Amino acid sequence: MRCKVSILGATGSIGQNTIDLISRDPDSYDVVALTGASNIAQLAHDAIALKADIAVTADETLLEDLRDALRGSDVTAAAGAAAVTECATRPSDWVMSAIVGAAGLAPGLAALEQGTTLALANKESLVCAGALMLEAARRSGSKILPVDSEHSAIFQALIGEDMAAVERIIITASGGAFRDWPLEDLAGATLDQASSHPNWDMGQRITIDSASMFNKAMEVIETREFFGVLPEQIEVIVHPQSLIHALVGFADGALMAHVGPPDMRHAIGFALHHPDRKHLPVDRLDLAAIGQLEFRAPDDERWPALRLARETMQAGGMAGAVFNAAKETALDGFIAGQINFVQMAEVVEDTLAHVCATDGHIAATMTLDTVLQTDHVARKAAQAAIDKRAG
Ligand SMILES: NC(=O)c1ccc[n+]([C@@H]2O[C@H](COP(=O)([O-])OP(=O)(O)OC[C@H]3O[C@@H](n4cnc5c(N)ncnc54)[C@H](OP(=O)(O)O)[C@@H]3O)[C@@H](O)[C@H]2O)c1
């Protein structure tokens, strides 16, 4: 039977890898909707090639460009954040959530409320609103399949296991671009240097987040939300080769590790074919050629993001939404040259302290509206923290 799929964030790194897998097996899939934002040429090209029903850009100012690019095809064009969310609710069997940032929350939630299986790459959804996402899935009976490689690895290690027997979950981190830099050089790291990852080929934002360890910090919070373990059960280990993605430790002392090449098509393909396993076009590891695997304890001074993630989990409530908004705003500030690499963590720390101490938002009941309000308040506070440093 053909599977109806939609891809939110189709023009990005995860979206393009998803399209790569689907394009290899055109008889198995009907593409309902593809969404993007600024990359109209790619969006239109893929929508036409995959015979999608609709292509949506989140940027309303680009609607005419999209219409022009789709002219002569049967693909409908639409634009705006509401149109992205609407297309997530179109009847599909499987939706890939691969928009970057908090903008991915509302469409992913809408797909879950519809009862659709959600392949979740957008880590911000669980960090900002984990309880909301899980409750929506519970109510509609839909499935969330994690696509982040670490969470896909944990999910796979847990198949057939009893959560009561889980002692700990260890997620690995490559350490990113500045793993071996002298600490005193970090403040001078340039955008280009931060945008290059030693192992993974990913979008620019997540690559910079890998260098600062904010990506891993997000994944720690995501792990707590998705697998329901306690913060103290989650460990991070630096593993420069990025071949082991995560390990689960059980009551009998066994550690189950998921090992694979750093290729997101594995986690995407696993979610696409779940519960089956099918052939995937990823490299097979030659363990003898690899020879050795290396592990190191993470350095809190180099990566304060990990401590901030623990403080965020301790604060609870909507601190995750504050953390994410502050992190996204700080990243924008770094990309724009307003703050340096080291100051990103300072901005997040200041924002968490300010919003958690002065606003009732953190304790408000979690709904999509209150999460978005908290996100707004935190972005303003983070921008003020940036301006203080820039000015
Ligand atoms: N890349 C990875 O290997 C990887 C691994 C694990 C998890 N993730 C997570 O997956 C998500 C996507 O990552 P990525 O690396 O694929 O990002 P990316 O390459 O930057 O792609 C982001 C996608 O989101 C679209 N987009 C940007 N702003 C938007 C907005 N305001 N509204 C709607 N769509 C918007 C982009 O459209 P345009 O390109 O057309 O502007 C693009 O399609 C992130 O949450 C990331 O943390 C990524």
Question: What is the CA(13)–ligand 1 centre distance, in A?
Answer: 7
CA–CA dist 263, 283 (Å, integer): 8
Q: Taking 80 as the threshold, does the pLDDT of residue 358 lie above it?
A: no
Q: Are strands 255-259 and 244-250 parallel, antiparallel or unpaired?
A: antiparallel
The number of the ligand 1 atom at minimal distance from the alpha carbon of 43 is: 40
Percentage of residues of the chain with pLDDT beyond 70: 99
Question: How many domains would you assign to the chain?
Answer: 3
Same domain assignment for residues 236 and 348: no
Per DSSP, 284 falls in state P
CA 217-218-221 angle, 5° bins: 90
What spacing in Å lies between the alpha carbon of 104 and ligand 1's midpoint? 9
pLDDT in tens, 259-305: 999 999 999 999 999 999 999 999 999 999 999 999 999 999 999 99
Q: How far apart are CA 22 and CA 4, in angstroms?
A: 11
- d(CA 231, ligand 1 centre) in Å: 27
Using one digit for the tens of pLDDT, what is the confidence trace for 314-343?
A: 999 999 999 999 999 999 999 999 999 999
Q: 103 CA distance to ligand 1 centroid (A)? A: 10
Residue 305 lies in a domain: no
* Residue whose CA lies nearest to ligand 1 atom number 15: 203
Q: Would 383 be classed as within a structural domain?
A: yes
Statement to judge: residues 23 and 112 lie in one domain: yes
Q: Is the CB of 200 under 6 A from ligand 1?
A: yes
Residue 44: give its domain's CATH number.
3.40.50.720
Question: Residue 384 maps to which CATH number?
Answer: 1.10.1740.10
Nearest CA to ligand 1 atom 33: 58
The answer as to whether 300 is a domain residue is: no
| 35 belongs to a structural domain | yes
Per residue in 73-107, pLDDT (tens digit) is 999 999 999 999 999 999 999 999 999 999 999 99
Last residue of a domain, one of 272, 290, 308: 290
Assess whether 114 and 69 both reside in one domain: yes
CA-101 nearest atom, ligand 1: 45
Q: Is residue 142 located within the same domain as residue 14?
A: yes
Ligand 1 contact via 205 beta carbon (within 6 Å)? yes
Domain boundary among 146, 173, 204: 146
Strand-by-strand arrangement of the 144-146 sheet: 76-79, 54-57, 29-36, 3-8, 94-97, 117-120, 144-146
- 79 close to ligand 1 (CB < 6 Angstrom): no
Mutation choice for ligand 1 from 8, 14, 199, CB with most ligand atoms inside 8 A: 14
Query: Which residue range forms the structural domain that includes residue 215?
Result: 151-290
Q: Is the CB of 330 under 6 A from ligand 1?
A: no
The mean pLDDT value for 42-52 works out to 98
Nearest CA to 21 out of 237, 259, 273, 214 is that of 273
> Is 360 a residue whose pLDDT tops 70?
no
pLDDT at 203 (0 to 100): 85
Q: Are residues 334 and 265 in the same domain?
A: no
Nearest CA-CA partner of 110 in 80, 129, 133, 128: 133
